[in-house]
Amino acid sequence: FTGTNYVQGITTVDFGGTDGPMTDAAPYADLTPDRLLDAVESTGYRTDGRMLALNSYENRVYLIYGEEAASIVAKFYRPARWTDAQILEEHSFVAELYAEEIPVVAVLVMAGATLNTHAGFRFAVFARCGGSARRNHGQSRPPSGPIRPGPMPCWRRSFAQ
């Protein structure tokens, strides 16, 4: 464990490490919109075909809209970057934080697992949950140090499976 990053009031975990250098110059070339929607639907969640790419440095993360359910966030892990064991360790650690009511967004269990695979891509699904904005409190510039988490109304939101 190399530290904790604070992104818009949500605690995220960076375990560091790698499985080695990437050998494919375009690791996501085969992750087409149809393929990623098929991957999400393979877990039993029905999309309405809409998606929105979200910012992510290492992985591919998408907001996926549901046909009759709340929208979700799907995170597709960079091939050859992490082992399954490393990803599952992160999922377990975040679940522990969640159980202690620390404001994190835990991975949803979809199709019986937190880490799913489709067409060679590993992915996880999360509830859509906004973070709290950094509060300035009248200062001309943001305070230094970590962002303190604010209220998160979707903390205990359950996902119908």
pTM for the whole structure? 0.68
Picking from 96, 90, 83, 106, the residue whose alpha carbon sits closest to that of residue 159 is 106
Coil/strand/helix, residue 154: coil
Q: Convert the pLDDT of each residue in 27-86 to its tens digit.
A: 899 999 999 999 999 999 999 999 999 999 889 999 999 999 899 999 999 998 999 999
Paired strand residues for 64: 51, 72
Residue 142 has pLDDT above 90, yes or no: no
Contact by Cβ (8 Å): 19, 80: yes
Q: Convert the pLDDT of each residue in 116-134 to its tens digit.
A: 999 999 999 999 988 765 5
| pLDDT at residue number 134 | 54
Contact by Cβ (8 Å): 132, 108: no
Residue 152 has pLDDT above 90, yes or no: no
User: How far apart, in whole angstroms, are the C-alpha atoms of residue 8 and residue 18?
Assistant: 26
Contact by Cβ (8 Å): 62, 111: no
| CA 34 to chain centroid | 20
Q: How many other C-beta atoms are found inside a 10 Å radius of the C-beta of residue 8? A: 13
